[in-house]
Structure 1
């Protein structure tokens, strides 16, 4: 029985448990990977998404109410799974659930960026002050020819599909992040010394805040790149970033996040259900507790904290700036 426990607590994916990778089998390394994840989660969900909303509204003719639904879809997706996983996830293999959630977020980023790759080129209006050569090979929105009008009508029908993809992508991002922010924090708590729990959890939340700030900065810089840089020769583009018709490359941040999430998911998947030394830590905690119910009280308090955080985030959905401030205060 002891041999089976030792084997179960070795680091590795499936039957592959190399001795050279056992250095990663510690709570410090797990917190490191979790910090990388929370950085990119904040980078995309609370940083890049909030920056690119004006570009999406202009590119796909979205109203403010529709763009608000896109932003809120992340929290709605998380809310569906949050309380359920926070309770029942304690009985499952936590690192596997966390890794699966991260891979789901990578897929969500891919879904969110699909409209750029399956859609048509951006049709903009050429004005005299913005045109370099007075002509353009794209269909102008002011053009009244029958061929152009039919094309524009067909394009607007596709916008409904793109809008649905944005919502689905955001919901996948919200659902995928749930395991890390619920059972992920619990995994840290039960596999480290009690005096280090707050420090490690603080590091993960700090990484999330840094990711948000980075997402605003980097996402804003991506908007200085033309949206169809992957389809056109931007050297001959008759628009500048100061032109009212300009739309920035809103999708680049999501393409960067896809491999980033995948690269973080696999190290997380390699961790065992419980790290080596789990029993010793639990014995030490029981000896430091005032009574035998201390562990249960701590678990209940953690669950209540998750519910309170969810309610606060839901109340601040209409104002992304307040969500950003809330994460920093944590």
Structure 2
């Protein structure tokens, strides 16, 4: 190592590369992490005070299970212990799943939510640029928030 490299190495250890007066200097970068961590604990603590199960949950679960098994195909599947071990059981299993309205609507909701989020994250900054005349970087940051 020559003298110039040694000076550079020792100066980087003692002084940061960007002076505090520079507009590129980021001072308290850790402050948002601290603030959001405290906010998370403040809002998270009351959630810990909720009971594991609400009163009457067990009765509602039993009623829903009975509703599910009122279907003729679902009853047949429930009583058959060998069901699902063969490939020819797949269409019947698919029929049971597709006749469950709760599953279908939750799946459709998730699909639509995913499509909206994907479209917004892909084209949202460009739309903000075009509508409001923002720069591409600012519109991306704005959409990120």
**TM-score (ref. length: structure 1):** 0.20
Greater RCO, CA 8 A, separation 6+: 1
Q: Which has the larger Rg?
A: 2
**TM-score (ref. length: structure 2):** 0.37
